[in-house]
Amino acid sequence: MITPSGEFKIKYILYRKDRVKVLTKLKVKVIKKNMGWCDDPKSSHYNKLIKLPFSHKHEKLFRKENIYDIILVLNFNMRPIKKNKGSAIFLHVAKNNYKKTEGCVAIKKQSLIRLLREINPNTKVKIFPQK
């Protein structure tokens, strides 16, 4: 998946309460062990938060590694949702050495925590086209 370019609102924030304290003015949801995100275009739950177990292709949000300790869910392909256009476009914690994501945007965890204090419900994330 190629990261989409454009200007996106932050729909809400998902976070691991056992790993971070989130201070923000945006709507938040605690990531639980049974939470996932459907990325299967064959499902009616495509590009939506889901409960596990789940019969279609999905990403587990409660992970051992820290990349999903904080997730800003961007409103890409949400109203209306178009099958095969892209799913799970998040701003989340970067992997070591900023290893490539599968379409998301990732930054250092401490930078993301600082960012949470600054953003508000009107904040938009601008993603510029890759060159």
Is residue 66, in this structure, part of any structural domain at all? yes
Q: Distance between CA atoms of 128 and 109, rounded to whole angstroms?
A: 21
d(CA 130, CA 24): 29
Q: How many domains does the chain have?
A: 1
Mean pLDDT across the chain: 95
User: Which residue range(s) make up the domain with 27?
Assistant: 6-119
Residue 21 domain-assigned (yes or no): yes
| Torsion of the alpha carbons at 88, 37, 44 and 75, rounded to the nearest 10 | -40
- Separation of alpha carbons 16 and 93, rounded Å: 12
**What span, in angstroms and rounded, lies between the C-alpha atoms of 122 and 80?**
20
pLDDT band at residue 1 using 50, 70 and 90 as cut-offs: low
Domain membership of residue 128 (yes or no) is: no
pLDDT, tens only, 92-128 = 999 988 888 888 999 999 999 999 999 999 999 999 9
CA distance 54 to 60: 10
- pLDDT tens digit string along 24-69? 999 999 999 999 999 999 999 999 999 999 999 999 999 999 999 9
State which amino acid sits at residue 16. Answer: R
